[in-house]
Amino acid sequence: MLAHLNIRKSTVGAVAAFALAVSGSAYSAPKTVLVVGDSLSAEYGLARGSGWVALLERKLQTEKLDARIVNASISGDTTSGGRSRLPALLAQHKPSVVVLELGANDGLRGLPIPSAEDNLRAMIRLAQENKAKVLLVGIHMPPNYGRNYTDRFTGMYKELSADLKVPLVPYMLQGVELVPTNFQADRMHPLATAHPVILNNIWPQLAPLIKN
């Protein structure tokens, strides 16, 4: 009987130790930050490692934050493309934080704003349903698209942020757009020298999501 009790205690102890090890491993696992964007996040026209997402990786290391970055940005992508890709990305990477930087190509193509808003809304909700925090990154349209369109486009991000309770970077190119020498020859995509400014625009809203 005593031998039986000893075996049972040993088994219970082993199970408890295993559970503790698994729990500790899960607790110490790094967070995953998933960036779903377009050319502004995909290093279009830049040397690899010089865009704001790569700079973010280095900043996390400098600040000793245990998080890994998955950059799923594609040049030319629209909100529709991002919406179609997101379910598989969430299933594969199981991110703690999702950064949505989409909409510029919808606007430049003059696509309907309600459609873009619906796509972004669906993406935010899907990420939230998968237990991820969301950061929405906004962009502005050039004035030649007309005041009505540009105002509605900017308002789209603000409305989504308020409705779905997600933090917003109102304009990722703040402080970049008024200096022509910040841009590549196409006058649309920032040079590598402007990407630290972009990261500085995004970091104040992103940092709390990673740290908490």
Residues in the chain, overall count: 212
End-to-end CA distance of the chain: 50
How many Cβ atoms are within 10 Å of 117's Cβ, its own excluded?
21
The answer to whether residue 4 is catalytic is no
The answer to whether residue 39 is catalytic is yes
- The single residue of 39, 41, 73, 161 carrying the catalytic annotation is 39
- The single residue of 38, 140, 189, 195 carrying the catalytic annotation is 189
The answer to whether residue 189 is catalytic is yes
- The single residue of 4, 25, 28, 186 carrying the catalytic annotation is 186
DSSP string, the chain: -HHHHHHHHHHHHHHHHHHHHHHHHHHHSPEEEEEEE-TTTTTTTS-TT-SHHHHHHHHHHHTT--EEEEE---TT--HHHHHHHHHHHHHHH--SEEEEE--HHHHHTT--HHHHHHHHHHHHHHHHHTT-EEEEE-----GGG-HHHHHHHHHHHHHHHHHHT--EES-TTTTTTT-GGGB-TTSSSB-GGGHHHHHHHHHHHHHHHHH-
Name the β-bridge partners of 71.
Answer: 35
Would you name the residues annotated as active-site residues?
A: 39, 186, 189
